[in-house]
Amino acid sequence: MATYILRRMFSTVAVMAMVGMFVFLLLRLAPGDPAAMIAGKAATAEVIAGIREQMGLNDPLPIQFISWVHDILQGDLGTSLFAGRPVLELVSQRLEPTISLSILTMVISVTAGVCFGIVAAWRAGGLVDRILTAFATFGFSVPVFVVGFFLIYFCAINTHWLPVQGYKLIEHGFGPWLEHLILPTVTLSVPYIAFIARITRASMLEVLSEDYIRTAAAKGASTYSVLFHHALKNAAAPILTVIGLSFAGLIGGVVITETVFNIPGIGRLVVDAINSRDYPVIQGVLILVSGLYVLINLAVDLSYTLVDPRIRY
Amino acid sequence: MTITRRDLIKASLAAGTAFSVPSVLRAQTAATAGRTVRMVMGSFPRTFDPMFTTDDTAQSHGLAIYDTLFALDSKFMVQPQMVQKWGVSDDKKTYTFELRDGLSWHDGAAVTAADCVASIRRWAQVQSGGQLMMERTKDISKKDDRTFSIALKEPLGLLPEILASAPPLFIMREKDANRPATEQVTTNIGSGPFKFNEALSKPGASITYDRNEQYVPRRETADGFAGGKVVNVDRVVWENIADQQTAYAALQAGEIDFIQTPSTDLLSVIESDPNLQLEILDKGGRILLLRMNCLQKPFDNVKARQAILHLVDQEAFLQASFGNPKYFRTITSLFGNDTPYSNDENTEWFKKGGDPEGAKRLLNEAGYAGEKIVLLQPTDWTESSNASQLLAAELRKIGANVELAPSDWGGIVERRAKMGSVEEGGWSLFITDHSNYGTTQPHTNIDMVANGKKGWYGWPTSDEYESLRAKWVEVDTLEERQALAGKMQKVYWDFVGMVYLGAYVQPSARRKSLTGLIGMPAYLPMWNMQRVSG
């Protein structure tokens, strides 16, 4: 097990290195000039050239790359060309909103999604199953921003129950923090509930048709015991995979929800950085997110051993 | 498991309580927000040094935290601001300026003449008016802590106008101003009416300004950028709300007080809301215009440029870009609509509906042989993007081989700097805009230059026009300048350095409880405004 984890940790570093190299080259080859963005619409070519020179953007690409890698090895992800602040500082400022949103979303999505999936499989073909399947199809098909604006209209503008937008740090109190997260979390949860419910239903249906389930029912096990002790445990592996991938995807993919609800998270940071061609910020965030993605996948792989004793690393 | 009616009632009560908690908490925290104004600006500043960038919002930031020597009032007349007294020598070659009492930096130190001298030198590195001034300047030096002088090689009657022109000459601390203009100042310490609150500002998310209690305003009433900068609120927060629909919803809900540039499709719904008000702060508005690459085929030929001038149906472009005729109008004068220099010289090219037949003839006369024309289309600027698509369609109708090159604005600002042919990654046309007020400043406005490769993107050349433009700073009276404007326009619309697509105004949206906003071109001063109850 320890060897396996160690090997996976090394692969994480390798993946981050590859992502770093790819992103660095992609950004330099893509059109756009940070100096021109900084200088503004009315700037002359002369002024832009001066800024480029000052920022070292005229240095040959290999030199820029070596300098960047050197800084990363020292634990420095660079400094934003625009804000003039270290990338790590900018990321740390944006981490709490994204992590809060992602964790709350996953808690709601997993709880509701797994429950819906189990109930749908248990009542397969019945009215409840059809309603839940219809919800899953709807939830998976409707774009996040449509759900978001719908909720803003009814829960914020019409009723004033909740704020339209923004984020309050948890240090300002649990109430305001939660108040600002309810609408974005519900919005973001809808497709994930649908996704997890569908996978859970399919996985449970497969397990519920097995002989040992029939045996368990025949020996007098309760419905609860059959569903949760016998079926869910054996159906858990694909559900865990989906949950892990969803969580990893959430960290880097909450940008639309963050935009609709004006949450200053990682997604907004990277989109703004792409629009302004803030190379160090884009590179830094993508490297961190890719590392996180690999680590979450590792955690999911390890969690298989908890639900299926036959799996060993 | 069975669910009883009692269980259902309990669950409903619990859910109701859970949902009501957030609004109760909000009511408890909302009381302190009374003297805080929350605003969504036209763009969110990516960098704060207003001499490092020409971005309008960075200049509005500059207006908040820095002060200026002179400023323009609402009639665009120059008024002293940090300057108490000033005078010019008999030979009109030496200007002396004395600072007024009570000027201090946000860190408590006094503003000195040395700060002003360093700031003028830095500003002149990047501002075209400043560059013009430096060409004629022998020396800028401090006389004592509160007095400095500018000694000229030859008289320059427009010197105070240049010092008051845009982008503004913000006075910075000497140690900040000693940096080259291509190196960003990040300290955000000025002597203006607002202090930058670094602790509460989050790069890319929000910026917080606090009232500078030490600031001593002039005694005059606020008037344009000039007069007493009296701050009536405790705090101003700029929020970076990227989505227009969210910004509008936040304005409706009272979470923000102001949107500087609401999108065109939201104007009618804002207008119908009893709590909201649309207000045109920049009454002169802006001009949508087309730059042509005059160094490359086919627009290196004046006939091809004239073809575009004749082709354009301004009303169609304005309709496609801005929709509501209430907010746009056509424009024929190089010197803008309703400015002291607006005139009708050489505007016969303007025809309602455009003149496609004339344009086709002119394009043929230019010897156009189907060369590829690349039109840069900014996908993240709706108005310009719509206008680009219409222009491409109109050009195709007269036989031009047009290729739209869509990209975000970031891609365009890089590509527009390329002087080479389209095969070498260059360009033929792109649409941008400039302030109507800016047209009254041909001596400093980079768009109105026609000195070839030394000038702005498109690089038109006309020696005749340039010799007339050089006289702008030499004529003394308004009448002389108006006559000169007519001559310049006559030449300009013959060689066609750029083409106007129309003029528009941009309404801002505010809650009716926010009053006293000062309307000036391009930049938004934040003094004078206040929140009223209701």
SS3 content of chain B, % helix, strand, coil (to 5): 35, 20, 45
Distance separating alpha carbons of residues A245 and A260, to the nearest angstrom: 23
Look at B249 and A276 and tell me if their CB atoms are within 8 Å: no
pLDDT in tens, A72-118: 889 899 999 888 889 999 999 999 999 999 999 999 999 999 999 99
Q: What is the CATH number of the domain that holds B344?
A: 3.10.105.10
Look at A48 and B239 and tell me if their CB atoms are within 8 Å: no
- Mean pLDDT, rounded, for A20-47: 85
Structure tokens at A302: 């390890």
- Mean pLDDT, rounded, for A289-294: 84
- Looking at the fold, whether B320 and B435 belong to one and the same domain comes out as yes
CATH architecture of the region A87-307:
Orthogonal Bundle (1.10)
Q: Which of B442, B451, B454 is nearest to B485 (CA)?
A: B442
Q: How far is B88 from chain A (nearest CA, A)?
A: 32
Q: How many residues does chain B have?
A: 534
- pLDDT > 90 fraction of chain A, expressed in percent and rounded: 49
Distance separating alpha carbons of residues B281 and B523, to the nearest angstrom: 10
Look at B446 and A44 and tell me if their CB atoms are within 8 Å: yes
Distance separating alpha carbons of residues B446 and B438, to the nearest angstrom: 9
Strand order in the sheet with B401-407: B328-329, B498-504, B286-292, B429-435, B372-378, B401-407
Q: What is the CATH number of the domain that holds B168?
A: 3.90.76.10
B295 within some domain: yes
**Contact yes or no for A23/A287 (Cβ under 8 A):** yes
> Residue A306 pLDDT more than 80?
no
Q: How far is A283 from chain B (nearest CA, A)?
A: 17
Q: Which of A29, A44, A257 to mutate to test the interface with B (most CBs of B within 10 A)?
A: A44
B185 within some domain: no
What pairs with residue B375 in β-bridges?
A: B404, B429
**Contact yes or no for A292/A250 (Cβ under 8 A):** no
B23 within some domain: no
- Looking at the fold, whether B335 and B247 belong to one and the same domain comes out as no
A-chain CB neighbours of B432 within 8 Å are 41
- Looking at the fold, whether B232 and B352 belong to one and the same domain comes out as no
Q: Which of B377, B383, B414 to mutate to test the interface with A (most CBs of A within 10 A)?
A: B414
Lowest mean pLDDT among A34-43, A120-129, A222-231: A34-43
The pLDDT tens digits along chain B (534 residues) read: 444 445 544 544 444 444 334 433 333 333 346 799 999 999 898 889 999 888 899 999 999 999 999 999 999 899 999 999 999 999 999 999 999 999 999 999 999 999 999 999 999 998 888 988 999 999 999 999 999 999 999 999 889 999 998 889 999 999 999 999 888 898 999 999 999 999 999 888 999 999 999 999 999 999 999 999 999 999 999 999 999 999 999 999 999 999 999 998 899 999 999 999 999 999 999 999 999 999 999 999 999 999 999 999 999 999 999 989 999 999 999 999 999 999 999 999 999 999 999 999 999 999 999 999 999 999 989 999 999 999 999 999 999 999 999 998 888 988 998 999 999 999 999 999 999 999 999 988 888 999 999 889 999 999 999 999 999 988 888 999 999 999 999 999 999 999 999 999 999 999 999 999 999 998 999 999 999 875
pLDDT of residue B377: 97
A-chain CB neighbours of B27 within 8 Å are none
Residue A248: band (very low, low, confident or very high) from pLDDT cuts 50, 70, 90:
confident
B22, B246, B410 ranked by CB distance to A165: nearest: B246
- Looking at the fold, whether B264 and B373 belong to one and the same domain comes out as no
A-chain CB neighbours of B414 within 8 Å are 31-33, 36
- Looking at the fold, whether B276 and B417 belong to one and the same domain comes out as no
B46, B184, B242 ranked by CB distance to A276: nearest: B46
**Contact yes or no for A281/A23 (Cβ under 8 A):** no
Q: How far is B328 from chain A (nearest CA, A)?
A: 22
Distance separating alpha carbons of residues A235 and B306, to the nearest angstrom: 73
- Looking at the fold, whether B244 and B167 belong to one and the same domain comes out as no
**Contact yes or no for B79/B68 (Cβ under 8 A):** no
- Looking at the fold, whether B101 and B222 belong to one and the same domain comes out as no
A156, A260, A276 ranked by CB distance to B410: nearest: A276
> Residue A25 pLDDT more than 60?
yes
Q: How far is A291 from chain B (nearest CA, A)?
A: 24
Q: How far is A195 from chain B (nearest CA, A)?
A: 25
Asked which of B178, B206, B232 is the last residue of a domain, the reply is B178
- Mean pLDDT, rounded, for A121-144: 92
Please work out, in degrees rounded to the nearest 5, the angle formed at the alpha carbon of residue B437 by the alpha carbons of B434 and B443.
Answer: 85
C-alpha separations of A131 from A46, A65, B379, B490 in Å: 65, 55, 41, 74
Q: Give how far the C-alpha of residue A167 lies from the chain's centroid of Cα atoms, to the nearest Å.
A: 18
A-chain CB neighbours of B54 within 8 Å are 39-43
Q: Which domain holds residue B214?
A: 194-282+506-531
B7 within some domain: no
pLDDT of residue B33: 63
Secondary structure (3-state) at B458: coil
pLDDT of residue B5: 46
- Looking at the fold, whether B155 and B203 belong to one and the same domain comes out as no
Look at B54 and A41 and tell me if their CB atoms are within 8 Å: yes
Distance separating alpha carbons of residues B52 and B188, to the nearest angstrom: 13
Distance separating alpha carbons of residues A97 and A92, to the nearest angstrom: 10
HEC profile for B4-59?
CHHHHHHHHHHHHHHHHHHHHHHHHHHHHHHHEEEEECCCCCCCCCCCCCCCHHHH
Look at A32 and B186 and tell me if their CB atoms are within 8 Å: no
B33 within some domain: no
Domain(s) of CATH 1.10.3720.10: residues in chain A: 87-307
A175, A261, A264 ranked by CB distance to B202: nearest: A264
What pairs with residue B79 in β-bridges?
A: B71
Q: Provide the number of structural domains found in chain B.
A: 3
pLDDT of residue A307: 73
Look at A162 and B22 and tell me if their CB atoms are within 8 Å: yes
B22, B202, B250 ranked by CB distance to A175: nearest: B22
Say what the pTM is: 0.86
B412 within some domain: yes
Look at B25 and A83 and tell me if their CB atoms are within 8 Å: no
Distance separating alpha carbons of residues A2 and A14, to the nearest angstrom: 19
Q: Which of B226, B219, B193 is nearest to B72 (CA)?
A: B226
- Looking at the fold, whether B146 and B226 belong to one and the same domain comes out as no
Least CA distance to B244: which residue of chain A?
Answer: A260
Q: How far is A173 from chain B (nearest CA, A)?
A: 10
- Looking at the fold, whether B123 and B229 belong to one and the same domain comes out as no
A157, A179, A275 ranked by CB distance to B25: nearest: A179
B-chain CB neighbours of A176 within 8 Å are 25-26, 29
- Looking at the fold, whether B98 and B142 belong to one and the same domain comes out as yes
Q: How far is B133 from chain A (nearest CA, A)?
A: 18
Look at B46 and A157 and tell me if their CB atoms are within 8 Å: no
Residue A252: band (very low, low, confident or very high) from pLDDT cuts 50, 70, 90:
low
Q: How far is B427 from chain A (nearest CA, A)?
A: 14
Query: CB neighbours (10 Å) of residue B516?
Result: 14
C-alpha separations of B222 from A105, B75, B225, B230 in Å: 50, 12, 8, 8
Look at A162 and B255 and tell me if their CB atoms are within 8 Å: no
- Looking at the fold, whether B127 and B198 belong to one and the same domain comes out as no
Look at B253 and A276 and tell me if their CB atoms are within 8 Å: no
B-chain CB neighbours of A161 within 8 Å are 19-20, 22-23
Q: How far is B203 from chain A (nearest CA, A)?
A: 6
B107 within some domain: yes
Please report the sign of the dihedral spanned by the C-alpha atoms of residue A272, residue A277, residue A278, residue A280. positive
pLDDT of residue B17: 43
**Contact yes or no for B115/B99 (Cβ under 8 A):** no
pLDDT of residue B47: 86
C-alpha separations of A266 from A103, A106, A252, A273, B186 in Å: 14, 17, 7, 10, 23
Residue in the structure block whose two tokens are 């259902």: B8
> Residue A309 pLDDT more than 80?
no
Q: What is the CATH number of the domain that holds B205?
A: 3.40.190.10
The size of the A-B interface in CB pairs under 8 A is 166
B22, B47, B410 ranked by CB distance to A178: nearest: B22
**Contact yes or no for A34/A43 (Cβ under 8 A):** no
pLDDT of residue B13: 45
Look at B46 and A37 and tell me if their CB atoms are within 8 Å: yes
Distance separating alpha carbons of residues A291 and A42, to the nearest angstrom: 40
DSSP output for B219-268: SSPPBTTBS-----SSEEEEE----HHHHHHHHHTTS-SEESS--GGGHH
Asked which of B146, B178, B210 is the last residue of a domain, the reply is B178
Segment holding B432, helix H or strand E:
strand B429-435
- Compute chain B's Rg from CA coordinates: 26
Asked which of B178, B211, B231 is the last residue of a domain, the reply is B178
